[in-house]
Amino acid sequence: MGIRLDLASIKKSLSVYGNPQDSFDSVLVAGTNGKGSTVSMLAGILRQSGYKIGLYTSPHLFDLRERITINGEKISRQKLDNLVDGLKKNLPEPLSFFEFITAVALIYFSQEEVDIAVLEVGMGGRLDATNVANPLLSVITNIGLDHTEYLGKTLEEIAIEKAGIIKPCGTLIASEESDDIQNLFKKICDDRKSKIFLSGKDFSFSSVNTDFHGTSFDFTSPLADFKNIKTPLCGKHQAKNASLAVFAALKLSELRYKVNRQNIREGLKNVIWRGRLEFIQSPGKMLFDCAHNISGILQLCEFLKSDALKDMPVNFVYAALSDKNYAEILKTLKPLAKNIILSKPDHPRSLDPEKIKETFFADDNRVIAMANPVKALELAQKLSEKNDLICVTGSTFLVADILKKFEKKENSNRKNYKESKEGYFYLGR
């Protein structure tokens, strides 16, 4: 069964287990981009504060178990197998893949008695499987055009779907900057008698600095002010995501999850979110980013134009799935590109690079089709000079395919992703 937006089936299945989602507190995070970074940073702050934290994210890069963690530890293979087998036997009706894994996560967090779970919405919000939770806070990052075949063709339609995670008499924290979308959220919150807190009005960030080593910024709110907060996640947009996580943590602290200033600093400083503006220098300079929609690509381009990289020629390795606006994305990347190598990860919806080349770039020698992702990377390395940057982007599956092969070949002896400033370190979306 493919994508299904309907809560009836997962609610029925969870009722067999006594509605485990009601046995622990939660925070629900939706948005077009930045969800993963935001949930990772919020979970990091809460974990630093001494709580037992469940974290549910999607998609995964290398291992399905990455999606379900407690205090940074992936669910064990044995526990995952047991939960999957048990759920299969007890299902009152079939579930989609995402519904099934969401159910597994919620049952696991309940069985392990987490204090609070931070849940990343898969798609949309209103009818997403994670929305069976009754969160203490609902968080929305930004609104962009993605999954339009399911969520609507306009930003307003998509915003309404994501606002479906706002609960009656609940609390929404949002970082979308559009006045129209903010006003829409305000109206929905008024209708549901929910509180609303907006970036730029109720909390803000400033003095943003970003380079290959991460991002720093100042944070201001009525609850607390911070100077020079640092996170290893890279890009100016990460200041926005981090400020959202900080304000959410401060609001939780007003309830029953107490955090202090040091918890916040340490939680942000230690966050890991792989494959999102992840930089590898071994040998040459390579940037891996899972940006797959135009909003994410624009954030990537903003970083590529920043002072840290603005004079660096870029050789892109790019791939896309059939439901993405790849024509607009390639049009956006091309002015920054020395070369673009079109590739095809191992996924049934991956686009044929030869057809993209023939359709859009038939006479452009700087655009090359090379279906095999590893060979595409090797070609990019051959085309790169000493000061060039290789940027792998367009698809989580492409980034995963290349990182897996690359790490086996180049980094078999590395035990720490932050081994040295000069060697292998990560950045993130």
Where do the H-state alpha helices sit in 4-125? 8-16, 35-48, 77-90, 97-111
- Judged against a pLDDT cut of 90, whether residue 223 lies above it is answered with yes
- 244 falls within a domain: yes
- Residues of the chain above pLDDT 70, percent: 92
Q: Look up the pTM and report it.
A: 0.90
Look at residue 417 and tell me if it is in a domain.
no
Same domain, 97 and 215: yes
Report the mean per-residue pLDDT for the chain. 91
228-251 core/surface letters (b: 16 or more CB in 10 A; e: else): ebebbbbbbbbbbbbbbbbbbbbb
Regarding whether 80 and 172 lie in a shared domain, the answer is yes
Domain boundary among 269, 299, 330: 269
Q: Are residues 261 and 285 in the same domain?
A: no
* Amino acid letter, 57: T
**Tens-place pLDDT, residues 172-208:** 999 998 999 999 999 999 999 999 999 999 999 999 9
Same domain as 170, residue 55: yes
What is the C-alpha separation between 348 and 369, in angstroms, rounded? Answer: 18
Alpha carbon of residue 309 to chain centroid: 23
What CATH number corresponds to the domain at position 146? 3.40.1190.10
74-104-396 Cα angle (round to 5) = 60
pLDDT digits (tens, 9 = 90+) for 353-380: 999 999 999 889 999 999 999 999 999 9
Q: Are residues 236 and 285 in the same domain?
A: no
In a domain, 398, yes or no: yes
* Sequence-ordered strand ranges (E) for 309-412: 314-318, 337-342, 367-369, 389-393
pLDDT attached to residue 308: 78
For position 399, what pLDDT does the model report? 95
- Asked whether residue 1 is domain-assigned, the answer is no
Domain count, the chain: 2
- For 77-121, the pLDDT digits (tens) are 999 999 999 999 999 999 999 999 999 999 999 999 999 999 999
For residues 167 and 189, state if they share a domain: yes
The alpha-helical segments, DSSP class H, found in 256-352 are 261-269, 294-304, 326-333
Residue 251 has pLDDT above 90, yes or no: yes
Contact 95, 13 (CB under 8 A): yes
pLDDT tens column, 126-155: 999 999 999 999 999 998 877 667 688 899
How does pLDDT run across 261-289, given as a tens digit for each residue? 999 999 999 999 999 999 888 667 899 99
The reply to whether 118 and 244 lie within a common domain is yes
378 and 252 together in one domain: no
Give pLDDT, residue 414. 34
User: Within this chain, do residues 245 and 135 fall inside the same structural domain, yes or no?
Assistant: yes
Whether 248 is covered by a domain: the verdict is: yes
Mean pLDDT confidence for 399-406: 87
The CATH number that applies at residue 330 is 3.90.190.20
Distance of alpha carbon 147 from the chain centroid: 15
The side-by-side arrangement of strands in the sheet containing 204-211 is 204-211, 214-220, 226-231
Domain boundary among 269, 304, 320: 269
Dihedral, 212, 325, 396, 429 alpha carbons, nearest 10: 30
At residue 366, the pLDDT reads: 95
Residue 265 sits in the same domain as residue 337: no
Q: Is 419 contained in some domain?
A: no
Whether 319 contacts 395, CB under 8 Å: yes
Output the pLDDT for position 3.
64
Tell me: do 290 and 200 sit in the same domain. no
User: Residues 43, 83: one domain?
Assistant: yes
Question: Residue 18 falls within a domain, yes or no?
Answer: yes
The confidence score (pLDDT) of residue 408 equals 65
- Would the pLDDT of 417 be above 60? no
Please report the pLDDT score of residue 398 as a whole number: 96
pLDDT of residue 409: 52
Distance CA 47, CA 74 (A): 15
Last residue of one domain, picked from the residues 269, 291, 306: 269
Inside any domain, residue 96: yes
Domain residues for 131?
8-269
